[in-house]
Amino acid sequence: MVTKRRAIVLLSGGLDSATVLAIAKAEGYDVMALSFRYGQRHAVELKAARAVAHAAGVARHLEVALDLRAMGGSALTADIPVPRNRSMDEQSSEIPVTYVPARNTIFLAYALGFAEVEGAADLFLGVNSLDYSGYPDCRPEYVAAFERLANLATKAGVEGTAKFRIHTPLIDLSKREIIARGLALGVDYSLTHSCYDPSPHGEACGECDSCQLRLKGFRENGIEDPASYVGTKAGTGNREQEQGTGNE
């Protein structure tokens, strides 16, 4: 009997991580998922992560609680407004205030420990260097550096029992290409959540950088985004006044 290789997938519940999870499964890995409740204002994404993990039938889904609000420094973990309605040029011109200091480094460190315990050598991360909002920890150079660290700073790496690899299958893909890849693999994007500043009911704002990139990707695929948006017809990004409901 051939034993499947184990892999750890960082699963936020967003579009990208759901696609990466599907890719890891399609490549034959026995997948375990890792999600974080880190004090993010969009903690509704964890509900999405659970739904995505369940639909994919992952072997184990671990949810870790840590509070990055203690440090703050980001619109996702502090009382700082989330930018809205920025142009694509504005989004790519500087590192935005939604950058969470050292977030991917912290998350990958946890994933590395999880991998050692579970006997996994492969870590999957949904970073992207094309349609991304200027985050320094989404670059290929960063990923390569952390992979080197993983093999220097672990018992498994030093003893040679594992050669850690960090897989970033989306890093050179546009959002349009990511969505097309996921659809081909049967990803149910209605389960995912991408918004940085959702409503109290968990509806996407349709205006933050993440929502705009997501909507653009679906438009370029010629299909509607199945996510629920505040005051909009789902997936169109065009605000429509709701009639007769009494809701804003």
| Domain CATH number, residue 16 | 3.40.50.620
The pair of structure tokens assigned to 46 is 């964890």
Least confident of 10-14, 53-57, 60-64, 156-160: 156-160
| Domain contains 222 | no
Per-residue confidence (pLDDT) for residue 95, from 0 to 100: 87
Averaged pLDDT score across all residues of the chain? 90
Indicate whether 132 pLDDT > 70: no
Beta-carbon contacts of 210 under 8 Å, excluding residues fewer than 6 positions away, are 14, 98, 133, 194, 195, 196
The pair of structure tokens assigned to 199 is 């409503």
The pTM assigned to this predicted structure is 0.90
Indicate whether 117 pLDDT > 50: yes
Per-residue confidence (pLDDT) for residue 204, from 0 to 100: 97
Q: Domain containing 118: what range?
A: 6-191
Q: Report the alpha-carbon distance of residue 120 to residue 113 in Å, rounded.
A: 10
Return the number of other C-beta atoms located less than 10 Å from residue 166's C-beta. Answer: 22
| Domain contains 147 | yes
| Domain contains 224 | no
Phi, then psi, of 167 in degrees rounded to 5: -95, 130
| Residue range 97-108, pLDDT digits in tens | 999 999 999 999
Cα separation values, 9 from 47, 79, 232, Å? 16, 30, 32
Give the chain's domain count: 1
Q: Per-residue confidence at 165, pLDDT binned at 50, 70, 90?
A: very high
| Domain contains 233 | no
| Domain contains 246 | no
Indicate whether 233 pLDDT > 90: no
Indicate whether 230 pLDDT > 70: yes
| Domain contains 200 | no
> Do the beta carbons of residue 136 and residue 129 sit within 8 Å?
no
| Domain contains 61 | yes
% residues pLDDT > 90 (the chain): 80
% residues pLDDT > 70 (the chain): 90
Which string of b and e fits 33-71 if b means at least 16 CB within 10 Å? bbbbebbbbbbbbbebbbbbbeebebeebbeeeeebbee
Give mean pLDDT, residues 219-243.
71
Q: Is 61 helix (H, G, I), strand (E, B) or coil?
A: strand
Q: Report the alpha-carbon distance of residue 95 to residue 6 in Å, rounded.
A: 34
Instruction: Work out the angle between the directed axes of helices 140-152 and 103-118 (0-180°, nearest 10).
Output: 40
Cα dihedral 159, 160, 164, 165 in deg (nearest 10): 160
| Domain contains 211 | no
DSSP 4: P
Indicate whether 236 pLDDT > 90: no
Return the number of other C-beta atoms located less than 10 Å from residue 247's C-beta. Answer: 8
Indicate whether 139 pLDDT > 60: yes
